[in-house]
Amino acid sequence: MERFFRVGAASTGPAGGGEGCALAGAERAAEALAGAGADLVILPELFAVPYAAAEDPGRFGHPAEPLDGPTAAWAVGVASRLGVPILFGMALSPDGPGRPLNAAVLARPEGIAETIALKIHLPPAAPGQPFGEADHFDAGPARIGTVRVGPIRLAALVCYDRRFPECWRAAAAAGADIVAVLVAGPAPDDPDGIFLAELRTHARANAVYAVSAARSGIETINGRSVRHDGDTVAVGPDGAVVSGPGAAVLADIDPARLSLAAERNPTARRLRTLIPQRS
């Protein structure tokens, strides 16, 4: 029997114990997933630092690093040791003036770290909060692509970008087999179950696997509690839950299942451009 490409994702956090604590926890999670046969490990958005979007960026900002900084170096080292690529979120220093970028970075065992996605949509400040992500980050360009990882094509969405159907359409149009969703932060206005419903709907509509890695737990930042509200879960291209929600999930990427989902639910091919009309 042919061995499928296996994707693993892990919840990590909270990161309030310091960067070293977060890295150690993430390394244990990556080791466990690699030991279970994962060919790719996915970690959450901004996994190594506290989620400080509600804080004054002049006093408590997201510490940004270049692509050859310590977090990416750590990820490359773990990927090389385990022989498994690691996709993770970090605050990326801009090339020029401006605020950091909220990035999804892929560390390959060959010793390379590459940015594969930048957060396009920055959520507003939560009700009652003075600051939001747009005060800490600049938005990335409105561009979504895929990269080859073994036999599959991978796209990544950073947290809030999952809300927008256009992001999923662009990923599918770029040939994605898997859309990884890296998640952190609170969603206090979300009704129960909406996160999983979003992933299931978009996976089915676009005939892709959706695999999320979400921060977990409650962090205390300057006396303020920050609860992480996403789920770590894997969804198949027909919208069925493959694994999770849980602290860690594994999903085997089946090419036949991808083909069958596209054949039975060719939503993208039937899409017609809609023209808004007001009476």
Range of the structural domain that residue 107 is part of: 5-270
Alpha helices in the chain (DSSP H): 19-35, 70-82, 165-173, 194-206, 255-264, 267-270
Query: Which tens digits make up the pLDDT trace of 31-84?
Result: 999 999 999 999 999 999 888 888 888 887 778 999 999 999 999 999 999 999
Residue 68, CA distances (Å) to 49, 71, 135, 207, 208 in order: 17, 8, 25, 35, 31
Lowest mean pLDDT among 10-19, 26-35, 66-75, 92-101: 10-19
Q: Residue 86: which residues within 8 A CB-CB, separation 6 or more?
A: 30, 40, 41, 42, 43, 75, 78, 79, 106, 107
**Does any domain span residue 172?**
yes
* Domain membership flag for residue 113: yes
Residue 252, Cβ neighbours under 10 Å: how many? 17
In terms of Cβ atoms closer than 10 Å to its own Cβ (0-12, 13-18, 19+), residue 130 is: exposed
Ranked by mean pLDDT, the top range of 47-56, 73-82, 132-141, 183-192 is: 73-82
Confidence of residue 173 (pLDDT cuts 50, 70, 90): very high
Full-prediction pTM beyond 0.95? no
pLDDT tops 60 at residue 176: yes
CB 16 within 8 A of CB 221: yes
Q: Is residue 278 part of a domain?
A: no
Per-residue burial over 170-179, b if 16 or more Cβ lie within 10 Å, else e, is: bbbeeebbbb
Q: Please name the amino acid found at residue 217.
A: G
Q: How many domains does the chain have?
A: 1
Q: Please confirm whether the linkage preceding 130 is cis (ω < 30° from 0).
A: no
Q: CB within 8 A of 101, min separation 6: which ones? A: 91, 92, 94, 118, 119, 137, 138, 140
Token digits of residue 155: 């796209």
Q: How many CB atoms lie within 10 A of CB 74?
A: 20
Contact 116, 123 (CB under 8 A): no
275 falls within a domain = no
Report the 10 Å Cβ neighbour count for 160.
20
Instruction: Give me the percent of the chain exceeding a pLDDT of 70.
Output: 95
The values of phi and psi at residue 169, to 5°, are -60, -45
Bigger pLDDT: 192 vs 75: 75
pLDDT of residue 1: 37
pLDDT recorded at residue 18 = 53
Residue 30 is part of a domain; what is its CATH number? 3.60.110.10
Residue 141 DSSP label: P
Q: Decide if 62 is inside a domain.
A: yes
Q: Residue 133 has what DSSP assignment?
A: G
Instruction: For the chain, give the number of residues.
Output: 279
Interatomic CA distance for residues 184 and 44, integer angstroms: 7
Mean pLDDT, the chain, whole residue set: 91
Q: For residue range 226-246, what is the model confidence (pLDDT) as tens digits?
A: 778 889 999 999 999 999 899
